[in-house]
Structure 1
């Protein structure tokens, strides 16, 4: 069991925020970091975010989940989805972070490998992690992708999962900058790219760390 089990919410291309958050958390040997997805789109430096995560994985225990934005991005890269759809939801900013005039074929192979290797969910002894949501009466390995990556908590707040574990999720942006804690579910997407915060939480203790888009620490409980 890791000493600290730390989840990080939706980064959305805000590398400065992720750098500041990691500095605040101070990952150490024995920690496990679970990144909940949506590393790309909307913010200014999606390429930099992926580079930073790849760097982090070299020295720390890091679990990376797939968000709906990575699903869109990978679909375009692999030619399965129209680029126009992704462009509407942040793909334009993501490609610009690679180079002016870049297209999906210009992505580094290491980044494509990263996208392909992202997980649907992660499970621990007393917790499980998904990007967005879950179906409460379905086993984790049989969850529909629509629930894991696309279903917002405003559409459906799930009941406690049949496994009895606490869910930690992102995806449903909290424009107040405050997390949602339902007891059986905690949502830590706090709208970093839109002027909110980037949040990390220690699942064991519920300790929070928050920074603004520029990576400066923010006290939880008020803007």
Structure 2
């Protein structure tokens, strides 16, 4: 049976991605939705992108753009490296491209350029890296950078009074727009949690693979999920992203 599987932030942890795809017994019938941040952190960012490009040839894949992907895209296009990017995992990404040809780098640039800012499926479920602020939805968002940076959507959903029902006038309009919303960007390990978190109808799938947590795949219909080993166990000689 075809499944829709959503995958959290990878941050160059190719070993974790390969492991969790195997644990979830992913087949070519499954649709994979990646929430972004494929790079910056562990040592295999370029290798992760190469893997994803090949994976998309074999089965349905939807790739959302994350803030770290936008940074890497800019570097691949211009060669200019922002200090903020380098400090937040970009240096590891830049090093991972040693030995990659110009043709391969161009192919990776095209991959990043083709990633989506968000995706809405037939069940009116929104998949986005971070969030949005417009009460009329992401299509009406004034600042498109919010798609890759916003944390207010998650913070609002997480702290909502559970007694307020969706049909209440007090229920946030942003959350009424979609049946469910799937995000990454804000690692659950910041709350000392290493499994997916839910706030109202928002699901956070970033379980901290960039830092000390595992990489997670979740079935959006059943809510069953699978996780890799914790990333420091897979990359014992590396630090990952020890900064937020």
Asked if Structure 1 and Structure 2 have the same fold, meaning a TM-score greater than 0.5 normalized by the shorter chain, the answer is yes
Q: Please, which moves more after superposition, 21-30 or 59-68? A: 21-30
Match of 2:24 in 1: 25
Change (3 A) 1:134 1:187: same
Match of 1:116 in 2: 113
SS at match of 2:94: helix
Cα offsets for 1:148-188 (capped at 9, x unmatched): 11022598425453423200000001112122111310001
CA contact (8 A) 1:6 1:203 kept: yes
Q: CA RMSD in A?
A: 2.5
Structure 1 residue 80, shift from structure 2 partner: 9.1
Aligned: 1:191 with 2:208: yes
SS at match of 1:181: strand
SS at match of 1:6: strand
Match of 2:60 in 1: 61
SS at match of 2:56: helix
Match of 2:179 in 1: 165
Aligned: 1:71 with 2:85: no
CA contact (8 A) 1:199 1:208 kept: yes
Match of 1:182 in 2: 199
CA distance in 1, matches of 2:29, 2:224: 17
Match of 1:40 in 2: 39
SS at match of 1:59: coil
Which blocks of at least 5 consecutive residues in structure 1 are unaligned?
216-223
How high is the TM-score relative to the length of structure 1?
A: 0.85
Structure 1 residue 86, shift from structure 2 partner: 1.6
Structure 1 residue 211, shift from structure 2 partner: 0.9
Match of 2:48 in 1: 49
CA contact (8 A) 1:138 1:162 kept: no
CA contact (8 A) 2:13 2:44 kept: yes
SS at match of 2:61: strand
CA distance in 1, matches of 2:64, 2:178: 21
Bigger Rg, which one:
2
SS at match of 1:209: strand
Structure 1 residue 137, shift from structure 2 partner: 1.4
CA contact (8 A) 1:136 1:162 kept: no
Q: 2:219 aligns with which of 202, 205, 208?
A: 202
Runs of 4+ in 1 over 6 A off after TM superposition: none
- Number of residues of Structure 1 aligned to a counterpart in Structure 2: 212
CA contact (8 A) 1:190 1:199 kept: yes
